[in-house]
Amino acid sequence: MSTVEATYCSQGDLQFVLPSIDEYDTKRVLMTNWVAEGTANLYQLNNSGYCSVLFKDGQDLGTEAGSKPAGDNGWRYQEATDSIQYYLASSSASALNSVIFEAGRDFTDLITEVRKRGSDFTRNLLSKPIYPRKGVGMQSSVANDYPEIIVMIAAHLACYFLVNPYNKELADELYGKVSNIDGTGWADKINRGEIDLYQEDSGDAVKGILREITYGGSSTGGIMAVRGVPSTEWDLIKIIITTAGTFTVGSASTVKYTSYTGNDTGLKINETQSATTIDGSFQPVGHGMEVRMAPGVYSSNDEWELEVSAPEYLDQSTSAIKYAYNARI
């Protein structure tokens, strides 16, 4: 069966959360009661329990045989008799009983499954849609395709499923980071609107979300403050240095910037401020927003991006739920 649902976390994300994930590979040591099966060089372990991967002294013995094994280290699990057959020439049951055999699962398949389960539970726990961060310049700082809070929730849940059969205390700790009875988990806070997802028009965009796009190696100046009330539903304002130089307190500035806003043809198209000299005060960049530049060295093409959204377009679902308490004295 195929699926169109996304998997939010990678094996690397799981290892970031739990560096010891390799310890939870579901291997179990098998009993040491091999007996001769009756066919030359073929041995059988009865009441073995299900086995999809067989290990001998830690070595993966490879793919299960489709019929009775006939070559060294060949094996198969027989569901009807709950037994494992194993072929090895010039051996004996007593010799095999001195070897450590383990049954388990392919670790890659196991990790894939817990990643999918963690992602499915993430969708079930959250009362908001989850959108990918795809497109040029849209990924997070660690280059994930989904908001980092979503990646971490899914990774913690995946580790919870991996650990839970062996260490309940650790599993509960992992799950508690996501959701708990006190309502302090990441998922709890997202559902209450205390944590915003990437696609939501949060209160931050009303004040202006500033991002550094390009910054010269010798540059030391930059935007130190933003103010204003956005006059547009949503936009990305481009602010770029067009004349390089040093802006120094007590000296006339030669540094100039230009700003751009979007229009009906695309983003960062419409020039709103042209070759404006930086003077250290709050200066306009478009949509009713102003920025203040700090003294320092500015390189040509130093660039910032200011994401803005007018307060009347704020998604009310991102506003934190507030509670009132009433008590009798």
Same-domain check for residues 160 and 15: yes
- Binned at pLDDT 50, 70 and 90, residue 324 comes out as very low
Q: How far from chain centre, in Å, is Cα 224?
A: 30
Same-domain check for residues 75 and 208: no
Least confident of 14-23, 171-180, 231-240, 320-329: 320-329
Residue 283 CA to residue 228 CA, distance in Å, equals 10
> Which residue, of 168, 192, 216, is where some domain finishes?
192
> pTM for this structure?
0.70
| Closest listed residue to residue 33, CA positions, set 109, 86, 111 | 86
Look at residue 303 and tell me if it is in a domain: yes
Look at residue 153 and tell me if it is in a domain: yes
Same-domain check for residues 223 and 176: no
> Which residue, of 104, 137, 156, is where some domain finishes?
104
Look at residue 133 and tell me if it is in a domain: yes
The per-residue pLDDT for 325 is: 45
On whether the CB atoms of residues 314 and 228 are closer than 8 A, the answer is: no
Same-domain check for residues 16 and 129: yes
Look at residue 92 and tell me if it is in a domain: yes
Same-domain check for residues 78 and 170: no
The per-residue pLDDT for 138 is: 67
Residues 6+ apart with CB under 8 A from 255: 221, 241, 243, 244, 245, 246, 247, 277, 278, 293, 298
Same-domain check for residues 293 and 210: yes
| Stretch 237-257: mean pLDDT | 97
The per-residue pLDDT for 327 is: 55
According to DSSP, residue 120 is labeled: H
Give the whole-number percent of the chain exceeding pLDDT 70. 91
- Binned at pLDDT 50, 70 and 90, residue 207 comes out as confident
Around 51, how many Cα atoms within 13 Å sit in the side-chain half-sphere? 33
Residue 5 vs residues 115, 119, 131, 175, 310: alpha-carbon distances, Å:
12, 9, 11, 22, 33
Residue 76 CA to residue 65 CA, distance in Å, equals 5
| Stretch 119-135: mean pLDDT | 89
> Which residue, of 79, 104, 129, is where some domain finishes?
104
Look at residue 284 and tell me if it is in a domain: yes
First-to-last CA distance in the chain? 61
Same-domain check for residues 212 and 69: no
Residue 329 vs residues 143, 220, 295, 323, 325: alpha-carbon distances, Å:
54, 59, 58, 19, 13
Look at residue 99 and tell me if it is in a domain: yes
- Binned at pLDDT 50, 70 and 90, residue 32 comes out as very high
Task: Provide the domain count of the chain.
Answer: 3
Q: Which domain holds residue 152?
A: 11-20+110-192
Same-domain check for residues 211 and 298: yes
Joined together, the tokens standing for residue 97 give 């009983």
Q: Per-residue pLDDT for 323 more than 50?
A: no
Same-domain check for residues 93 and 145: no
Which phi and psi (to 5°) does residue 265 adopt?
A: -110, -15
Look at residue 97 and tell me if it is in a domain: yes
The amino acid at 124 = N
Q: Per-residue pLDDT for 222 more than 80?
A: yes
Residue 229 vs residues 114, 207, 239, 296: alpha-carbon distances, Å:
45, 7, 17, 27
Look at residue 1 and tell me if it is in a domain: no
Residue 108 CA to residue 53 CA, distance in Å, equals 12
Same-domain check for residues 286 and 144: no
Same-domain check for residues 117 and 15: yes
Q: What is the mean pLDDT of the chain?
A: 91
Torsion of CA 176, 182, 186, 191, to 10 degrees: 130
pLDDT digits (tens, 9 = 90+) for 84-105: 999 999 999 999 999 999 998 8
Residue 73 CA to residue 43 CA, distance in Å, equals 11
The amino acid at 214 = T
Give the whole-number percent of the chain exceeding pLDDT 90. 78
Same-domain check for residues 243 and 306: yes
